[in-house]
């Protein structure tokens, strides 16, 4: 057990629905243990620039259902520099902060890993990103909500696709990882899913879309991750059109709508468990780790491993999209 009197919590990187539910859990669990909480605004920049707000019981009331993050978020340029991190450490000392809870994704934890090794400040990370690309957790906060947003949007797209017998190429987020594309692709019954992890698919897609099979279909949906490796939905649409001039094709880029909205029940519960778990971990003396949920159990993964240890796409889901899109 470690005596902690004061912590700082912040959100960093791309926002994700459920971050507010997580902030609430961190604050209320801290107060339950008589720990004072500061919220740093705009991620690491808030620490560097001494931009804190005091968080109490009521400041996290009525936020569990809200998307975005009340603490704002940013990708700090200053924290990448040695000077920026020194300023952050000075600010932590000046404000008598004993430990930090960082809610974010791979950029957030890469920074946390360096900072921990330089200054030894106890930090616990909580995975908050719709990309779900962190090793050490089955789900990150926001992923489930983003999937539900996509399913809702693509169901609507399918209505119009069917009415016009059109092929829709729908681009979803995922610059470096295909978790969003793959899972949403299964959920919407996509004809095909293109992800960054598999590079040799355009010919496969063209073959798949050809022949008599599509004649018997009315509307069809292809899901493309933004970092698919071929150049995104418009490029894919061009390639399909070049081979099959008679196809009526439309492109839909879902964009940042995927990052907003009220968190799903799943994300609220996940965020609450991880937020409270992070506080317990700090009190137990853990640091330099990301808390996650694997097979419904809380687990801890060193920051470097969470970021660098490649999380694999579910191969069964990949082959399922092929089988089910007959």
- Single out the segment in contact with ligand F6P by CB under 6 A; choices: 124-132, 150-158, 161-169, 182-190: 124-132
Q: CB neighbours of 126 closer than 8 A, spacing ≥ 6?
A: 22, 26, 101, 102, 103, 104, 141, 271, 274, 275, 278, 290, 291
Range list of H helices, 133-190: 143-164, 179-188
Verify binding: residue 220, ligand F6P, rule CB under 6 A. Answer: no
CB of 1 to ligand F6P, least distance (A): 35
Bridge partners of 6? 36
The backbone torsions φ and ψ at residue 185, rounded to the nearest 5 degrees and listed phi first, read -60, -40
Verify binding: residue 174, ligand F6P, rule CB under 6 A. Answer: yes
Verify binding: residue 131, ligand F6P, rule CB under 6 A. Answer: yes
Q: Binder to ligand F6P among 9, 10, 12, 14 (CB under 6 A)?
A: 14
Establish whether 203 is a catalytic residue: no
CB count within 10 Å of CB 55 equals: 24
For ligand F6P, give the closer residue by CB, 177 or 192: 177
For residue 292, the number of C-alpha atoms closer than 13 Å in the C-beta half-sphere is: 25
For ligand F6P, give the closer residue by CB, 4 or 197: 197
- Single out the segment in contact with ligand F6P by CB under 6 A; choices: 126-134, 232-240, 281-289, 315-323: 126-134
CB 137 within 8 A of CB 293: yes
In what order do the strands lie in the sheet containing 220-225?
A: 192-194, 220-225, 167-172, 249-253
Verify binding: residue 194, ligand F6P, rule CB under 6 A. Answer: no
Write down the catalytic residue from 131, 133, 144, 267.
Answer: 131
Site string for ligand F6P, 132-171 (x = CB under 6 A): ----------------------------------------
CB of 208 to ligand F6P, least distance (A): 25
Sites for ligand F6P among residues 257-316 (CB under 6 A): 259
Sites for ligand F6P among residues 246-265 (CB under 6 A): 259
Range list of H helices, 210-298: 233-243, 265-284
Site string for ligand F6P, 50-89 (x = CB under 6 A): ----------------------------------------
Q: Binder to ligand F6P among 12, 69, 129, 149 (CB under 6 A)?
A: 129
Joined together, the tokens standing for residue 300 give 């801890």
Verify binding: residue 175, ligand F6P, rule CB under 6 A. Answer: yes
Cα-based distances in Å from 296 to 12, 153, 265 = 25, 29, 15
Joined together, the tokens standing for residue 89 give 């450490």
For ligand F6P, give the closer residue by CB, 174 or 185: 174
For residue 2, the number of C-alpha atoms closer than 13 Å in the C-beta half-sphere is: 16
For ligand F6P, give the closer residue by CB, 142 or 288: 142
Q: To which H or E segment does residue 223 belong?
A: strand 220-225
CB of 156 to ligand F6P, least distance (A): 21
Joined together, the tokens standing for residue 119 give 């200054």
Task: Return the active site residues.
Answer: 131
Give contact residues for ligand F6P (rule: CB under 6 A): 14, 129-131, 173-175, 226, 259
């Amino acid at each position: 057990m470690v005596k902690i009197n004061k912590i700082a919590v912040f959100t960093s990187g791309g926002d994700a629905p459920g971050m507010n539910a997580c902030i609430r859990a961190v604050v209320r669990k801290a107060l339950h243990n008589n720990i004072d909480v500061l919220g740093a605004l705009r991620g690491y920049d808030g620490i560097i620039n001494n931009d804190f707000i005091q968080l109490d019981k009521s400041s996290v009331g009525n936020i569990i259902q809200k998307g975005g993050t009340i603490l704002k978020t940013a990708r700090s340029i200053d924290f990448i520099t040695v000077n920026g991190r020194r300023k952050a450490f000075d600010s932590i000392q000046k404000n008598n902060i004993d430990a930090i809870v960082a809610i974010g994704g791979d950029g957030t934890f890469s920074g946390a890993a360096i900072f921990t090794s330089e200054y030894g400040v106890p930090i616990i990370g909580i995975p908050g990103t719709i990309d779900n690309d962190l090793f050490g957790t089955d789900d990150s906060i926001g992923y489930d909500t983003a999937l539900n947003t996509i399913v809702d949007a693509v169901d609507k797209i399918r209505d119009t696709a069917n009415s016009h017998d059109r092929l829709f190429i729908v681009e979803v987020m995922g610059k470096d990882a295909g978790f969003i594309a793959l899972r949403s692709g299964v959920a919407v019954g996509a004809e095909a899913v293109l992800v960054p992890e598999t590079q040799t698919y355009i010919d496969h897609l063209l073959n798949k879309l050809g022949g008599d099979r599509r004649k018997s279909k009315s509307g069809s949906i292809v899901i493309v991750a933004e970092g698919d490796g071929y150049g995104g939905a418009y490029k894919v649409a061009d390639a399909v059109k070049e081979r099959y001039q008679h196809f009526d094709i439309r492109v839909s880029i879902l964009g940042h709508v995927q990052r907003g909205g009220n968190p799903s029940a799943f994300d609220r519960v996940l965020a609450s468990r991880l937020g409270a778990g992070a506080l317990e971990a700090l009190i137990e003396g853990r640091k330099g780790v990301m808390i996650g949920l694997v097979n419904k159990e809380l687990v801890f993964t060193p920051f470097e491993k969470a970021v660098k240890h490649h999380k694999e796409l579910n191969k069964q889901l990949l082959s399922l999209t092929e089988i089910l899109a007959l």
